[in-house]
Amino acid sequence: MKLKELGEHSFIETVISKYVNSDVNLDVYRQGNVVLKIDGFPIKYTMPFMDFYDLGWKAVVAAMSDLVSYGATPLVVLSSFGLSPEIESKNAEMMIMGISDASKYYGATYGGGDTNSSEDSGWIDIAIFGNPVCNTRPKAEPGDLVYVTGELGRTTGAFLWYSSGGKFPLPLDSVIKLRHPVINRAILRAHRELCSVVALGTDVSDGILVSLNKIAHYIGHGIDIANIPLVEYIQELVDKNIVSLNEILKSGGEEYETIFVVKKETSSIFLDAMKRYGVIVKEIGRVIDSEPEIRLNSKKYEVHGWDNFKGWF
């Protein structure tokens, strides 16, 4: 079976899982007081309005989002990239500047890495080393609540514009979200106060359904979603039946928001901390007593999102 038929997520679950000493449903690797993350993408997976600085910044944020959402303080950032020898050196330097600036923004040191030649568009990978802010976390159980930061759909706006050949408008905040994504640094400070309150934190990068599905399999329970907070212009497309909710959820990704699974009995402590640190969160569902699956308003919902071997599925 070819990878494009199997898909990235199935490949991870059925193949990679046989060779690693960790749960592949968790987006970071933790061993004792060390948390590691590596993430990357082909340079062709970028929008025409992005420059090389944006690529470097975004590559760091893609990996940093996993650490911050999980609750780990980033310490060192390393890069590995392959570029065409025909690329202007000033553009390559712009990418390095983006990597360096993003690392500094999150309090980490950029330690360089590896440079390679590529015959096609090239690629970039970022690895980050950090320390967890919590030694232990409570176990997620049925009845616990699920929250997400911010609103979803900003990147979807750009993806709809691109895939439709410009038939959909390109919102300015969609451009900003893709060119210069930012994770709220206050999430780490909140994590330090919520070690007995938050069972799990993870980011939204391949679409919210993909992220929720990973959480469900990691905690061993289902998740029932009652509300998906969308930005106003995307919600309007759904309300006017221009684009279905299913299509919106399918064509999401690179949101870099955070999903929290919170103990129900201490949810007021969680909300108070989020308010004090200026982190906007919305309750979207709860953990249910079922096999790992995603439900939308109590009905089982097929998982859609981004897959690096399949594309949007």
**C-alpha dist (Å) from residue 37 to 31, 212, 305:** 12, 19, 21
Are 108 and 240 in a shared domain? no
For 194, the domain range is 145-312
**Each residue of 169-180: pLDDT tens digit?**
999 999 999 999
Kindly report the CATH number assigned to the domain that includes residue 126: 3.30.1330.10
Residue 186 has a CB neighbour count (10 Å cut-off) of 15
pLDDT at 99: 98
Are 149 and 295 in a shared domain? yes
Residue ranges of the annotated binding site for substrate are 254, 306
**Each residue of 134-159: pLDDT tens digit?**
999 999 999 999 999 999 999 999 99
Are 275 and 207 in a shared domain? yes
Q: Using DSSP bridges, classify how beta strands 222-225 and 281-288 pair: parallel, antiparallel or unpaired.
A: antiparallel
Using pLDDT thresholds of 50, 70 and 90, give the confidence band for residue 291: very high
Q: What pTM, to 2 d.p., does this model score?
A: 0.95
Q: Strand 123-132: give its sheet, edge to edge.
A: 29-31, 34-42, 123-132, 72-83, 109-117
Is the residue at 5 inside a domain?
Answer: no
Are 230 and 263 in a shared domain? yes
Are 88 and 210 in a shared domain? no
Residue where the block lists tokens 């409570």? 138
Residue ranges of the annotated binding site are 23, 66, 113-114, 139, 203, 205-206, 254, 306
Domain final position from 70, 104, 132? 132
**Each residue of 34-85: pLDDT tens digit?**
999 999 999 998 899 999 999 999 999 999 999 999 999 999 999 999 999 9
Kindly report the CATH number assigned to the domain that includes residue 190: 3.90.650.10
Are 172 and 266 in a shared domain? yes
Using pLDDT thresholds of 50, 70 and 90, give the confidence band for residue 254: very high
**Each residue of 266-280: pLDDT tens digit?**
999 999 999 999 999
Domain final position from 68, 101, 132? 132
pLDDT at 121: 87
Give the chain's mean pLDDT. Answer: 96
Residue ranges of the annotated binding site for ATP are 113-114, 139, 205
Is the residue at 10 inside a domain?
Answer: no
| CB neighbour class for 65 (10 Å; exposed up to 12, middle 13-18, buried from 19) | buried
Amino acid at 31: Q
Using pLDDT thresholds of 50, 70 and 90, give the confidence band for residue 251: confident
pLDDT > 70: percent of the chain:
100
Is the residue at 253 inside a domain?
Answer: yes
Is the residue at 165 inside a domain?
Answer: yes
pLDDT at 202: 97
Is the residue at 292 inside a domain?
Answer: yes
Whether 103 contacts 217, CB under 8 Å: no
Whether 147 contacts 262, CB under 8 Å: yes
pLDDT > 90: percent of the chain:
94
Mean pLDDT along residues 247-274: 95
Whether 38 contacts 125, CB under 8 Å: yes
Are 189 and 254 in a shared domain? yes
Mean pLDDT along residues 237-247: 95
Are 122 and 175 in a shared domain? no
Q: In the numeric block, which tokens belong to residue 199?
A: 């069972």
Residue ranges of the annotated binding site for Mg(2+) are 23, 66, 114, 203, 206
pLDDT at 252: 87
Are 281 and 163 in a shared domain? yes
Are 105 and 159 in a shared domain? no
pLDDT at 45: 87
**Each residue of 79-121: pLDDT tens digit?**
999 999 999 999 999 999 999 999 999 999 999 999 999 988 8
Are 161 and 36 in a shared domain? no
Is the residue at 154 inside a domain?
Answer: yes
Sign of CA dihedral 171, 176, 181, 185: negative
Domain final position from 111, 132, 153? 132
Would the pLDDT of 312 be above 90?
no
Are 177 and 304 in a shared domain? yes
Taking the C-alpha atoms of 236, 239, 245 and 249 in order, what is their torsion angle to the nearest 10 degrees?
A: 20
pLDDT at 211: 96
Into how many domains does the chain fold?
2
Mean pLDDT along residues 219-242: 96
